Structure 1
Amino acid sequence: MSMDHQNFRTYVEENLDALSTRPDHEALIHQGRRVTAGEFRDLVHRMARALLAQGVGRGETVTLLCGNLPETVAARYAANLVGARVNHLYNKLSAEAQADIVRDVETRALIVDPRYTERAVEVTDLAPVPAVLVLGPAKLGTDLLDLAAQQSAEPLAGLARPDDICAIRHTGGTTGHPKGICTTFEQVRWFRGVLPEEPGFERRQLVVTTLAHGAGHLADNTLHAGGTVVLLDDFDAAEALAAIERERITDLFLLPPLLYQLMDHPDAQHTDTSSLRMLTYGGCQASPARIADAVRRFGPVLIQGYGQNESGGVSVLTKEDHDLGRPDRLRSAGKVLADVEVVIRDESGRDLPSGEHGEVCVRSAMIMKGYWKQPELTAEVLRDGWLHTGDIGFLDDEGYLTIVDRIKDMIVVVGGHVYTTELEDLLNSHPQVRQSAVFGVRDADRMERVHAVVVPVPGSDIDGDRLRAMVREQRGAMYEPAHIGFVDALPLTDAGKPDKKELRRRAEQELATTG
């Protein structure tokens, strides 16, 4: 049940209150520029008033076309403070895909990073919006920072109500109609308690992935705790390692492919990473063998978080669970959170006992309100208060949740089905393999075949025949890939996940060419 809106305070107001306790404390750092808590708080209030003056208020949509700037965080806070819902575009989508989203969410104001003004022109040509506001002087639109400078920095009470939509986050979007996941202001406040608290030290978080993804949530938590957020524009292993040492970083979030790049970089061997207290990973499947490597490299600081934009947080694999003496634990996604219910169900909706594979279904206060303007799709995944995640998994007798695959990624072959993550784990266990991605490709007869792409250790002599023989011996002929390709690096999505759509496209193109 929603709380009384007259007494409701948004996450923005709570964070600004926390920042007010130490106004001279450095809150955000970007390219040597250091923004104090007081400066950030004042900027948010000034921006909020500027947005109201531009006709942006409660129930409107603000879309961000922005990189990792302190002003990006301030713009999101300002928009949410006046009760607007925020949609943050992934910057590596095509202009057409971005325009589809801008149009779909009924954008009232597009807020643009000056570095993306050329893309903003492309997007607004395809999807015109009432207001284009730029975080600095530019040939396009109006300078939002100049508008904000003319406004008062006096505190502004939040205009949002608990059940108003706070954020619309899109999943997919490269093909077809993207799904906009709607989360309310009340639900956003629940996200703060997903990861365990680490009292006794001041948090210094390094952001190396887009603020539109999980790093944005964690930045909010860091600011609420009175910590400092250090922003890099994009992930670069050498830059990240240097920043960890220079800024004495305590908190870092990475998707597994980026974690592998970080620990494999030559600089990792002589970089001081002893300040790290919480290295959180998640967002896609991780390799147990590679996670064990990361524990050896960085120490007992790893935490895995499992969840979805639709579900919020679901489970956590704690530091203590990253026990090298229990490699089976590293395959799991940890124990279900205290305020979350999880059941495993078969195709008929029957609850399954421990150990049996089925769809992971979740019920909690963090579950999305629904998909933006897609009630039929919402009804498909939200049934009787339970979110059907589309993930296949199982619970063991100790309450640990293991995710086996996405239903859509599971490969149906003659004689059964192949769980892609199980095959990836096996390939990654080979000492000459750094990373792999497994996916299904349909042949000319429309039969699905197992394909794998492998990133080998530099200088190794591993080949497809030996890897296929290993798979055949340890998992059987059903799991043996029809094709294994080798690349220097896997293509990644904007969020940092292996881009299996792109890998599948390449494989299909190669099949069409070779016949």
Structure 2
Amino acid sequence: MHAAQPPFRSYAEQILDHLNDAPEREVLLHGERRVSAGEFRALVHRLARALKERGLGRGTTVSLLGGNLPEVIAVRYAAHLLGCRVNHLYNKLSAEAQVAIVRDVETRALIVDPRYADRAAEVTAQAPVASVLTLGPAPAGEDLLAAAAGLSDEPVPGEARPDDVCTIRHTGGTTGHPKGICTTFDQVSDIRALQGEHVRRQLVCTTVAHVGGMFTDLTLGAGGSVVLQEDFDPAAVLAAVERERVTDLFLLPPLLYRLMDHPDAATTDTSSLRSLVYGGCQASPARLADAVRRFGPVLLQFYGQSEVGGISMLMPDQHDPERRPELLRTAGQVLPHVEVEIRDESGRALPRGEHGEICVRSPHIMQGYWKQPELTAEVLRDGWLHTGDVGLLNDEGFLTVVDRLKDMIIVVGGHVYTSELEDLLNSHPRVLQSAVFGVRDADRMEQVHAVVVAGPDGGVGEAELRELVRRERGAMYEPASITLADALPLTEAGKPDKAELRRAAAKRYALASA
């Protein structure tokens, strides 16, 4: 006779259970504010009651617009307690993109950080919603915090079911129909992944609408505390690491470079760091070696996608610039319970060492794209997620991500993999960072372009870099243009904004041919 399965408890319920263990413990730090576990837990339950009184629950969508505030995290947990779908808008997206997303996900309530009240009014003027709720006084909308203040903080029973959609996270969304990735409550129910030997003090300096929110959840679920900063500022991050004895930090590679290049990095005490996780876009092996020398053996690379979750990791002891420098070019080894195949255009699995599309099978694969069955069927076939990344597996099982399929540049004579050219440019001692991308010229031929950020001493010229490329990679890889810049434009998520770089290069083409 089989034992009865325990009732399903969502990630939010599990986190709230942990918060009840030591209610006096500080769990969220934001500026001068210190929020205890008991205060935060009480706020979540009051907010859940206020949302329920306003007709929100299973089958309804809540959209959030706000910064890295404790209240923004609390209201997400409250909505998920009730089984709501939650869509967290990137606050730096254009109003046009936010309008499209709010309308697309059938938003019942837009919950707003008062600092974004003007943007919320602009969005709802074009995409009306049933309720606008604000996390504090604001010119328009109902103050949800005030409404919740008089309600009971007794535990609210969780109403989410394993197969209910938990989050709808959008990628892109700047043009056309937004692409919303649907993840179920069951797929985000395991919050134990980051429980380890040390008590975590996680610094979150990227938006909680994306990976910052994931690390917040995992840290609170592991009994740790989170230091919240509104945005990335290298001086502020370094100061917080020293002051708050931060143990854990997540950064995208461009932000990691800015952190270690800041003048304060040489004098700041970062000895409390136990894990500096990076990922989200390609990283330069040369710059990773610099980071290991600056921060010690604490780097951990995480490769994954919103559609499939984690795929592989390069662990701290595998970041060894002296003994195994070649591993810094890889994304590490495939995670347990994840299967990876490298496939050609026909779907045939390729042998080790050959380039092809990275395809993944995992328990964490998305349910699908919101209301886009054709696009879902295109990337999700027979249980395998086609990532759109080009890569290879070596004989030791290390996965190397070579490029995005859409970023791979087809030129006369073959393919140019942008990450390979970026790695080469970044290996120059006076180059801090680079971005390589393709643009079609007036004859519709794709041309290679590069934007390079030089070090503070400068002294690197286009001719020198061209010679490096010709010598190491040959004429096929030589860019049609190499532009020097003070910094690379970044997307909302902190990745190099190659779409913006392409637009700028295309505009130069148009002016040149006019």
Q: 1:177: which partner in 2?
A: 177
Deviations 1:458-489 (A, max 9, x none): 22211111101100100010000010001111
| TM-score after normalising by structure 2 | 0.98
Read off the aligned partner of 1:489 and give its amino acid letter: A
1:234 is aligned, of 225, 231, 242, to 231
The 5 A counterparts of 1:181-220 are: 181-190=181-190, 192-193=192-193, 197-199=195-197, 201-220=198-217
Deviations 1:265-304 (A, max 9, x none): 0010100100000000001110010011000000000000
Q: 2:39: which partner in 1?
A: 39
Q: 2:271: which partner in 1?
A: 274
1:315 is aligned, of 306, 312, 315, to 312
Read off the aligned partner of 2:429 and give its amino acid letter: P
Task: Return the alpha-carbon distance in structure 1 between the equivalents of residues 428 and 138 of structure 2.
Answer: 52
* Paired residues of 1:190 and 1:365 also in contact (CA < 8 A): no
Q: CA deviation at 1:6?
A: 7.6
Read off the aligned partner of 1:399 and give its amino acid letter: G
The 5 A counterparts of 1:296-445 are: 296-324=293-321, 325-445=323-443
* Paired residues of 2:341 and 2:349 also in contact (CA < 8 A): yes
Q: 2:257: which partner in 1?
A: 260
1:290 is aligned, of 284, 287, 290, to 287
Q: 2:469: which partner in 1?
A: 471
Task: Return the alpha-carbon distance in structure 2 between the equivalents of residues 190 and 500 of structure 1.
Answer: 34
Query: Aligned pair 1:456/2:454, yes or no?
Result: yes
Read off the aligned partner of 1:89 and give its amino acid letter: L
2:487 is aligned, of 484, 489, 494, to 489
Name the SS of the counterpart of 1:466 in structure 2.
Answer: helix
Q: 1:225: which partner in 2?
A: 222
* Paired residues of 2:449 and 2:480 also in contact (CA < 8 A): yes
Task: Return the alpha-carbon distance in structure 2 between the equivalents of residues 353 and 272 of structure 1.
Answer: 46
Instruction: Specify whether residues 464 and 121 from structure 1 end up closer, same or farther in structure 2 by C-alpha distance, changes over 3 A only.
Output: same
Name the SS of the counterpart of 2:429 in structure 1.
Answer: coil
Name the SS of the counterpart of 1:7 in structure 2.
Answer: coil
Task: Return the alpha-carbon distance in structure 2 between the equivalents of residues 447 and 503 of structure 1.
Answer: 18
Instruction: Specify whether residues 155 and 314 from structure 1 end up closer, same or farther in structure 2 by C-alpha distance, changes over 3 A only.
Output: same
Read off the aligned partner of 1:247 and give its amino acid letter: E
* Paired residues of 2:76 and 2:86 also in contact (CA < 8 A): yes
* Paired residues of 1:191 and 1:366 also in contact (CA < 8 A): no
Q: 2:502: which partner in 1?
A: 504
Deviations 1:155-179 (A, max 9, x none): 0111000000000000011222221
Task: Return the alpha-carbon distance in structure 2 between the equivalents of residues 184 and 137 of structure 1.
Answer: 33
Deviations 1:1-27 (A, max 9, x none): xx9998100000000001110100001
Task: Return the alpha-carbon distance in structure 2 between the equivalents of residues 453 and 208 of structure 1.
Answer: 26
Task: Return the alpha-carbon distance in structure 2 between the equivalents of residues 458 and 178 of structure 1.
Answer: 39
Task: Return the alpha-carbon distance in structure 2 between the equivalents of residues 156 and 323 of structure 1.
Answer: 49
* Paired residues of 1:191 and 1:313 also in contact (CA < 8 A): no
Q: 2:71: which partner in 1?
A: 71
| TM-score after normalising by structure 1 | 0.98
* Paired residues of 1:5 and 1:162 also in contact (CA < 8 A): no
Q: CA deviation at 1:192?
A: 4.6
* Paired residues of 2:333 and 2:398 also in contact (CA < 8 A): yes
Question: Where do 5+ consecutive residues of structure 2 fail to align?
Answer: none
Q: 2:18: which partner in 1?
A: 18
Deviations 1:372-427 (A, max 9, x none): 00000000000000000000001111111110000000000000010000000000
Name the SS of the counterpart of 1:47 in structure 2.
Answer: helix
* Paired residues of 2:436 and 2:450 also in contact (CA < 8 A): yes
* Paired residues of 1:5 and 1:161 also in contact (CA < 8 A): no
Read off the aligned partner of 2:304 and give its amino acid letter: G
* Paired residues of 1:190 and 1:366 also in contact (CA < 8 A): no
Task: Return the alpha-carbon distance in structure 1 between the equivalents of residues 58 and 77 of structure 2.
Answer: 13
| Aligned residues between the structures | 510
Task: Return the alpha-carbon distance in structure 1 between the equivalents of residues 212 and 299 of structure 2.
Answer: 16
Instruction: Specify whether residues 191 and 373 from structure 1 end up closer, same or farther in structure 2 by C-alpha distance, changes over 3 A only.
Output: farther
* Paired residues of 2:192 and 2:221 also in contact (CA < 8 A): no
Task: Return the alpha-carbon distance in structure 2 between the equivalents of residues 75 and 21 of structure 1.
Answer: 21
Question: Where do 5+ consecutive residues of structure 1 fail to align?
Answer: none
CA RMSD between the two structures:
1.2
Instruction: Specify whether residues 5 and 508 from structure 1 end up closer, same or farther in structure 2 by C-alpha distance, changes over 3 A only.
Output: farther
Query: Aligned pair 1:161/2:161, yes or no?
Result: yes
Task: Return the alpha-carbon distance in structure 2 between the equivalents of residues 378 and 190 of structure 1.
Answer: 25
Query: Aligned pair 1:116/2:121, yes or no?
Result: no
Instruction: Specify whether residues 191 and 176 from structure 1 end up closer, same or farther in structure 2 by C-alpha distance, changes over 3 A only.
Output: farther
Name the SS of the counterpart of 1:320 in structure 2.
Answer: helix
Instruction: Specify whether residues 4 and 433 from structure 1 end up closer, same or farther in structure 2 by C-alpha distance, changes over 3 A only.
Output: farther
Q: 2:82: which partner in 1?
A: 82
Q: CA deviation at 1:514?
A: 2.0
Name the SS of the counterpart of 2:317 in structure 1.
Answer: coil
Q: CA deviation at 1:198?
A: 2.9
Task: Return the alpha-carbon distance in structure 1 between the equivalents of residues 59 and 294 of structure 2.
Answer: 47
- Greater CA deviation, 405-414 or 181-190? 181-190
